Structure 1
Amino acid sequence: PGPFWEAGPVFIHEAACRRRRCNGRLPTVARGGARTIRAYDADHRIVYAENRLVDDPAALEMELRGALIHPDVAYVHVRNSRAGCFAFRVERA
């Protein structure tokens, strides 16, 4: 555990399923509300320079692309800005 270790619910599908592929677009359900983007490197350390608060849901996709352009960013966690809850992970295709 580190300073950002969290306990929370883990949801497991009863039957095997494939990872969701979004073809470069966020699903509509992922765009609602204010979000926090937290970028991580390949060693799972936060890349602070690429973290963002996104108040405008229409700007989320553009902000994610901006964070993922950074060569040190391996993946991004998107969280609900108000509650801090993890929403989803974004990786390069």
Structure 2
Amino acid sequence: MAACVLSPTAGDDTYVCDSGTSATGLTDLSGNNGLTVSGSGLIQGNVVFDAGNNRIEINADGVVDGDVEQGSEADEFEMNGGRILSIRPLRN
């Protein structure tokens, strides 16, 4: 299990939150980013990705206790269970 440590870098990032809690949400405004939330993973806050081809996947009991905002490029969102508050395009 990868726990839920979400540390953005300047380029493309892949995040996994499959157990534990991220108390601050996730904001990554550069690169092509991916996020998978599953198992008992909990992100307490918003998930915000900017321009780039981003992919977000919510599985099983994964929770984003906030809004999911994706940028203006070709993004993917897949939900196979779990919970989020809302999904919307990034507000510029």
Structure 1 length-normalised TM: 0.26
Structure 2 length-normalised TM: 0.27
Structure with the higher helix share, 1 or 2: 1
Which is greater in Rg? 1
Greater RCO structure (CA 8 Å; 6+ sep): 1
Structure with the higher strand share, 1 or 2: 2
